[in-house]
């Protein structure tokens, strides 16, 4: 399973890149807005930090303007994946950009039927939002299971990119279901490293070593 960092904080991304745990990055207009910088500058810097796909989202809602924005965004760097919403205009834009060789991430997916449409439109990634479904009383992981099964049934090349991940349990569940990618805040990736028994064991090892008065170097 690939891990994408869901942030536009370049300092955080540089730190995380050093761990080898980051396979790509996803952004959206809200994350870019938090940076207080011009979108093109932020995307270009992020693309220099990772060789993996960097999702840059259009802000238009009509097809023609989406297409113009998508072509502008893909010109920023070779590893830009254009992100479009799962609307009719977004799917039309996905089809055109995909036919032109641009990877497209279709976002704001909340049903398996929507995911099926995105795959047929040629999406490189589909982004089902599990956390937001959980928030309104649905089981977001049921959607992931359905989409993975449908894509496997027809050998679609679209990768299931689990979005709106809130905690490590979401990551575990998505991985068990066979999702291709999980995109999450860096804090969730770091939380996956933590376990109280790891901390307790390390504390004991270091205490025993200190008693020897030795130094490895």
Catalytic residue positions, numbered: 83
Q: What is the largest CA-CA distance in the chain?
A: 71
What is the sign, positive or negative, of the torsion defined by CA atoms of 94, 21, 40, 109? positive
Half-sphere exposure of 53 (CA within 13 A, CB side): 21
Whether 155 and 188 have beta carbons less than 8 Å apart is answered as no
Q: What are phi and psi of 163, to 5 degrees?
A: -115, 175
Give which of 168, 123, 124, 165 is closest to 144, Cα–Cα: 165
Buried b (16+ CB within 10 A) or exposed e, 158-179: bbbbbbbbbebebbebbeebeb
Angle ∠(41,129,44) on CA atoms, nearest 5: 10
What span, in angstroms and rounded, lies between the C-alpha atoms of 45 and 167?
27
């Amino acid at each position: 399973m690939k891990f994408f960092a869901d942030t536009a904080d370049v300092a955080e991304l540089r730190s995380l890149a050093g761990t080898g745990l980051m396979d790509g990055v996803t952004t959206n207009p809200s994350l870019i807005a938090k940076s207080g910088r011009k979108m093109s500058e932020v995307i270009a810097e992020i693309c220099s930090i990772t060789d993996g796909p960097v999702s840059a989202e259009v802000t238009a809602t009509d097809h023609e303007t989406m297409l113009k924005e998508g072509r502008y965004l893909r010109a920023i760097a070779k590893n830009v994946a254009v992100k479009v919403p799962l609307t009719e205009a977004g799917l039309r834009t996905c089809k055109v950009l995909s036919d032109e060789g641009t990877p497209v991430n279709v976002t704001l997916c909340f049903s398996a039927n929507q995911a099926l449409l995105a795959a047929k439109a040629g999406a490189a990634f589909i982004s089902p939002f599990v956390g937001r479904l959980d928030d309104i009383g649905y089981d977001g992981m049921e959607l992931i299971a359905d989409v993975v099964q449908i894509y496997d049934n027809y050998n679609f090349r679209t990768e299931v990119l689990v979005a709106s991940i809130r905690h490590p349990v979401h990551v575990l569940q998505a991985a068990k279901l066979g999702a291709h990618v999980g995109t999450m805040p860096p804090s969730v990736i770091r939380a996956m490293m933590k376990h109280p028994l790891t901390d307790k064991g390390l504390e004991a090892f270091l205490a025993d070593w200190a008693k020897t008065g030795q130094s490895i170097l």
